Amino acid sequence: MLDARVWFVWALTTLVAASATRSPLYIIVLLLTTMVVGGTCAAGEGRRAPLSPLRFAMVAVPLSALFNALTVHLGDTVLLHLPSWIPLMGGAITLEAVTFGALNGLTLTVIFAAFSVFNQVTPVRDLVKLTPRAFYEGGVVLSIALTFIPQTTRSLQRIREAQAVRGHRVRGIRDWLPIVVPLLVSGLERAMGLAEAMVARGYGAVCSEKQPFRTQALIIVGLMTLLAGWLAYLFNAAWSAPAVAVIAIGAVTIGGAIWLTGRGVNHTVYRARSWTAGDSFALLGCAVTLVAACRGRAALYYSPYPVLTLPSFDPLIGLAMLGLLVPAIVTVAREDAEMHRDPDEGNGFSKQPQTSTDHG
Amino acid sequence: MERYTTDGQSTERRSSSIRIDRLRYTYPGAQQPALSEVCLDIADGEFVLVAGPSGAGKSTLLRCLNGLVPHFTGGRISGRLSVGGHDPLEDGPQALSQVVGFVFQDPEAQFVVDRVEDEIAFALENAAVPPAEMRLRVEEVLHLMDLANLRDRRVETLSGGEKQKVAIATALALRPRILALDEPTSQLDPQSAEGVLQALVRLNQDLGLTILLAEHRLERVLPYVDRLVYLSDANHPPYSGPPRDVLSQVELNPPLVALGKALGWNPLPLTIKEGRRFASQVPRHKAKPAEADRRGMGGRGRRPRNGHGKLGDARHARFAIQDLHYAYNGKPVLQGIDLEIESGELVALMGRNGSGKTTLLKCVVGLLEPEHGGIRMDDESLVGQETAEISRQVGYLPQDPGDLLFADTVCEELAVTLRNHDLLGAPPVQPDDLLARLDLEMLKAAYPRDLSAGQRQRVALGAITVTRPHLLLLDEPTRGLDYEAKRELVRLLREWQEEGTSILLVTHDVELVAQAADRVALLSQGEIIADAAPELLTTSPLFAPQVARLFPGTGWLTVDDALDSVGKNGGATDA
């Protein structure tokens, strides 16, 4: 299991790489790497994706192709003509526009798949740890919201069934009332129950210290500096350099205030993950892909307009994109190592990583 | 054992005895107090069972111990309270979280994060327990609750019993000396419930934890309990003392105790083992031969019903399932189910969790589509019909009746169903008559979700039976009900049977089956492995009710069976 931050960077890198190209070859490479990583790392992991990437593609690709074909009338290979009196859609429907639309849909699929993997492999608590320490309570709320989603989906299903056996049919908007009301009420009941359970477990006993005035003042000063810099930037192009500096000062001030607040939050972290070589390796892989995506813009560029051509493929950049495969390699290597270890060693205390206090 | 206060400082171990003096509490907006004049004195290490009918104040009493009442609920409180050296009224629930671990009824509603281990650590993280110490404590409770192999699992993938064990583990992580549990097994099947209760017994006996347990299934816990606190209603001070003493004074008893009282056994037996000593002296007349019972009538006059003695050959199958198959994601769940239910017959469907019981019910009402096979009501096939259509002649009560209820009043719930079926003008049953039968006349204008579990269930029953269905499907109808509510349910079911309604009952509750069922079908891995008279249960080590365990080989199932046979039935019934 990799660090949640590494997974976040991985998902972002995939996003950047996918947005940088419309060449079908690179997109397919990215789609394959994402699916391999998902298959090895997210297999059997709990939170199910609400929609499989394949299903997403089945909707996104045709829809995007259709939309692009109807609204963009560039390209030389005309398939048919729509009468010109139809606003926006009237004109030539071209093969190039269909292709470009389909490629857009495929790009969206890659991004969707990457974030599905991220969502599946990161436990809720690790997501909370991605939030700065000062926002600990916000993080807890986020975590509760995330645990609430599957519960709510299940109760929605139950309530729909329960209403159906009373002869209820959903025909119009009003017919949703017998489903929405119990869903809301049971959600509220559950929220009250959870609040009670959290209080009974001592939540809120120590972690909310009163913010000292100084940190509050610091945040206000930081925000105002930031705003002043931004306004200066907008007003006069000649001021742009000093304005950026002022913005930076504002940002640093706010960051400092958040850090100060974080120090006041009194809680500890259970089994804080220690950084592993695998994490560094995966991060390195992402960096390689990222550099390739930024530097190789010209090679990544592909446009089907005005006439559909075969896309070119730079093997070096293709290879660099395989950097995104590192999480899968790390996972397989780790599983392999664990399988070859003495079975007794895998149990109890010895297996777990070291604990440490949270400095996040 | 070292203890940590909220600032991580080690302090001395506190005494955990509970002292309650003239406690009186009224919920905000309520006229009547929920608790009045409660005086209790509980010693360190006692196992206390808090019993009583729904609404008698069991939850309220437990919530007073950790300050949730009145700090979380509001309301007026008077009297004195001392819990482990703290005053919950003054210190509040956060401070008391270190003294009293609390476990709630619904395991789902107490989790903050998604992994077992993280969930247990959550309270410790909030209490700023140093990481090394935290590691040790989590490890301790994982082993204590036998959860070590589930540590990495996601909470939502656990079974109900496992979830409740995790909830207990999270409560134990702060190392409280007192554990308060509010009906922790009411949402669980008997096997899971047994696991949870055994874990509690171990905590009490091995660690000397003081345990206060509110629970309906008295028969399961009585053998281990040091003290029984019985809350009858808010106007009476609670009975408190050794279980035998209290049970002899109160009315709601498990079958074994009810039988012991009726036959004058002294001292009252609390376990089957204790009861066997007395049972061996009871003269036994073997029940009617099993052959007669196989026809589904029971043959012992357990349920004298209109004209049923003659039904033997003349009756025809009103409802029949033939060779029903259902698969979920390619995995077979139901494999060739054959089941027939006569008019006015009650068939109990039993089996372990995941054997396909609920799936079968859902196939019948059209919520799931069977792969193949037939479902027929009289001569009409139900397969392929819309659920809304089927539900007019088949009433289905899901596990949680709360899912059905959304209207503002009890009356309106019935009207909604009629409106759905376009029957508001000419209802098959007059809603007022039905409410009277359900004993809900006085609650016509009440908000359904505010009612007790038993009342809520009766409202839901009203909502599905107002179309006068020929067949009733009930999924775990006794879950979370007290003895009185169960008795009321049995009465209703009998009335419906007498009118010719067929009933298919999915349940784990063997005592209910013993009392109400004409036939029992056992489901295992999607197949019906037995379909016979309830006497089938007497020989089953898994499903035998208390009376059958007490008198093996007699065919007796209920207290009434036994009392009838020994000629002592003066109307004592169990529930």
> Are both B432 and B540 inside the same structural domain?
yes
Are B403 and A161 within 8 A, CB to CB?
yes
Q: What is the CATH number of the domain that holds B65?
A: 3.40.50.300
The pLDDT of residue B502 is 94
**CA atoms of B345 and B341, how far apart (whole Å):** 6
Calculate the CA B48 to chain-centre distance: 19
Residue in the structure block whose two tokens are 């990495």: B152
The pLDDT of residue A94 is 92
Q: Which range has the worst mean pLDDT, A297-311, A342-356, B174-188, B305-319?
A: A342-356
Are A199 and B93 within 8 A, CB to CB?
yes
**Which is more confident, B232 or B297?**
B232
Are B117 and A271 within 8 A, CB to CB?
yes
> Are both B355 and B466 inside the same structural domain?
yes
Indicate whether B336 belongs to any domain: yes
> Are both B476 and B338 inside the same structural domain?
yes
> Has residue A198 got a pLDDT over 70?
yes
Q: Which residues contact B5 (CB under 8 A, 6 or more apart)?
A: B11, B98
Cis status, amide bond into A306, omega within 30 of 0: yes
**CA atoms of B551 and B348, how far apart (whole Å):** 22
Q: Which range has the worst mean pLDDT, A139-153, A172-186, A342-356, B6-20?
A: A342-356
The pLDDT of residue B390 is 93
Residue in the structure block whose two tokens are 């930076």: A248
Q: Which residues contact B529 (CB under 8 A, 6 or more apart)?
A: B522, B523
Are A206 and B6 within 8 A, CB to CB?
yes
Indicate whether A272 belongs to any domain: no
Domain boundary among B175, B198, B217: B217
Residue B373 CA neighbour count, 13 Å, CB half: 22
Indicate whether B529 belongs to any domain: yes
**CA atoms of B216 and B50, how far apart (whole Å):** 9
The pLDDT of residue A348 is 41
Indicate whether B552 belongs to any domain: no
Residues in chain A within 8 Å Cβ distance of B112: 140, 143-144, 147, 194, 198
> Are both A41 and A115 inside the same structural domain?
yes
Cis status, amide bond into B269, omega within 30 of 0: no
Residue in the structure block whose two tokens are 């931004």: A230
Indicate whether A354 belongs to any domain: no
The pLDDT of residue A354 is 41
Three-point CA angle B277, B279, B280, nearest 5°: 70
**H/E segment holding residue B240:** strand B239-241
Residues in chain A within 8 Å Cβ distance of B151: none
> Are both A284 and A254 inside the same structural domain?
no
> Has residue B101 got a pLDDT over 90?
yes
Indicate whether B573 belongs to any domain: no
Residue from the list B97, B115, B131 with its beta carbon closest to the beta carbon of A272: B131
Domain boundary among B175, B191, B217: B217
Indicate whether B556 belongs to any domain: no
Indicate whether A351 belongs to any domain: no
What percent of chain B has a predicted confidence (pLDDT) above 70? 90
3-state secondary structure of B135: helix
Nearest-Cα residue of chain B relative to residue A191: B109
The pLDDT of residue B159 is 84
> Are both A124 and A141 inside the same structural domain?
no
Per-residue pLDDT band for B290 (boundaries 50, 70, 90) equals very low
**CA atoms of B205 and B182, how far apart (whole Å):** 20
* Nearest one of B38, B54, B67 to B105, comparing CA atoms: B54
Per-residue pLDDT band for B570 (boundaries 50, 70, 90) equals low
Computed on alpha carbons and rounded to an integer, the radius of gyration of chain B in Å comes to: 25
What percent of chain B has a predicted confidence (pLDDT) above 90? 48
**CA atoms of B548 and A33, how far apart (whole Å):** 63
Are A205 and B127 within 8 A, CB to CB?
yes
> Are both A119 and A10 inside the same structural domain?
yes
Indicate whether A355 belongs to any domain: no
Nearest-Cα residue of chain B relative to residue A190: B109
- How many CB pairs (< 8 A) connect A and B? 201
Tell me the pLDDT tens digit for each residue of B311-327.
Answer: 433 345 589 999 999 99
**Mutating which of A48, A146, A148, A201 best tests the B interface, going by the most B Cβ atoms within 10 A?**
A201
Phi, psi angles (nearest 5°) of residue B277? -55, -45
**CA atoms of B83 and B67, how far apart (whole Å):** 10
Nearest-Cα residue of chain A relative to residue B138: A270
The pLDDT of residue B41 is 92
**CA atoms of B258 and B254, how far apart (whole Å):** 6
> Has residue B361 got a pLDDT over 50?
yes
Per-residue pLDDT band for B107 (boundaries 50, 70, 90) equals confident
Per-residue pLDDT band for B289 (boundaries 50, 70, 90) equals very low
Output the pTM of the full model. Answer: 0.77
> Are both A11 and A124 inside the same structural domain?
yes
**Which is more confident, B289 or B285?**
B285
Per-residue pLDDT band for A214 (boundaries 50, 70, 90) equals confident
> Has residue A320 got a pLDDT over 80?
yes
Average pLDDT over residues B285-301: 43
The pLDDT of residue B117 is 92
Domain boundary among A148, A170, A200: A200
Domain boundary among B217, B239, B254: B217
Indicate whether A325 belongs to any domain: yes
> Are both A8 and A113 inside the same structural domain?
yes
> Has residue A119 got a pLDDT over 50?
yes
B531, B341 Cβ separation under 8 angstroms: no
User: What residue ranges in B317-382 does DSSP mark as E strands?
Assistant: 317-328, 331-342, 346-350, 372-377, 380-381
Which residue(s) pair with B242 in the sheet? none
**CA atoms of B101 and B68, how far apart (whole Å):** 12
Distance from CA of A112 to the nearest CA of B (A): 23
Q: Which range has the worst mean pLDDT, A49-63, B223-237, B311-325?
A: B311-325
Average pLDDT over residues B496-522: 92
Distance from CA of A340 to the nearest CA of B (A): 20
Phi, psi angles (nearest 5°) of residue B225? -90, 140
Indicate whether B509 belongs to any domain: yes
> Are both B331 and B441 inside the same structural domain?
yes
- Cβ–Cβ contacts within 10 Å for residue B462, how many? 23
> Has residue B329 got a pLDDT over 90?
no
Indicate whether A360 belongs to any domain: no
Average pLDDT over residues A261-283: 81
Per-residue pLDDT band for B50 (boundaries 50, 70, 90) equals very high
Indicate whether B20 belongs to any domain: no
Residue A191: domain span: 136-200
Per-residue pLDDT band for B3 (boundaries 50, 70, 90) equals very low
Residue from the list B95, B100, B391 with its beta carbon closest to the beta carbon of A167: B391
**CA atoms of A141 and A129, how far apart (whole Å):** 12
> Has residue A211 got a pLDDT over 70?
no
> Has residue A2 got a pLDDT over 90?
no
> Are both A16 and A124 inside the same structural domain?
yes
Q: Which range has the worst mean pLDDT, A134-148, A291-305, B354-368?
A: A134-148
**Which is more confident, B286 or A107?**
A107
Indicate whether A207 belongs to any domain: no
Residue B120: domain span: 3-15+42-70+82-217
**What's chain B's length in residues?**
575
Are A128 and B113 within 8 A, CB to CB?
yes
Residues in chain A within 8 Å Cβ distance of B115: 123-125
The pLDDT of residue B305 is 39
Distance from CA of B449 to the nearest CA of A (A): 9
Give the count of domains, chain B: 2
Q: Which range has the worst mean pLDDT, A176-180, A355-359, B132-136?
A: A355-359
The pLDDT of residue A48 is 61
Q: What secondary structure, in 3-state letters, does chain A show?
A: CCCHHHHHHHHHHHHHHHHHCCCHHHHHHHHHHHHHHHHHHCCCCCCCCCCCHHHHHHHHHHHHHHHHHHHCCCCCCEEEEECCCCCCCCEEEEHHHHHHHHHHHHHHHHHHHHHHHHHHHCCHHHHHHHCCHHHHHHHHHHHHHHHHHHHHHHHHHHHHHHHHCCCCCCCCHHHHHHHHHHHHHHHHHHHHHHHHHHHHCCCCCCCCCCCCHHHHHHHHHHHHHHHHHHHHHHHCHHHHHHHHHHHHHHHHHHHHHHHHHHHHCCCCCCCCCCCCHHHHHHHHHHHHHHHHHHHCHHHHCCCCCCCCCCCCCCHHHHHHHHHHHHHHHHHHHHHHHHHHCCHHHHCHHHHCCCCCCCCC
**H/E segment holding residue B49:** strand B47-51
The pLDDT of residue B291 is 38
The pLDDT of residue A47 is 57
Average pLDDT over residues B470-487: 88
Give the count of domains, chain A: 3
The pLDDT of residue B383 is 92
Tell me the pLDDT tens digit for each residue of B415-465.
Answer: 999 999 999 899 999 999 999 999 899 999 999 988 888 889 999 999 999
Q: Characterize A235-249 residue by residue with b for buried, 16 or more Cβ atoms within 10 angstroms of its Cβ, and e for exposed.
A: eeeeeeeebeebbeb
> Are both A124 and A220 inside the same structural domain?
no
Phi, psi angles (nearest 5°) of residue A204? 85, 0
Residues in chain A within 8 Å Cβ distance of B174: 201-202
> Are both B337 and B451 inside the same structural domain?
yes
**Which is more confident, A257 or B5?**
A257
Are A167 and B388 within 8 A, CB to CB?
yes
What percent of chain A has a predicted confidence (pLDDT) above 90? 28
Whole-number average pLDDT of chain A: 83
Residue in the structure block whose two tokens are 């740890």: A129
Indicate whether B254 belongs to any domain: no
> Are both B201 and B324 inside the same structural domain?
no
Residues in chain B within 8 Å Cβ distance of A128: 113
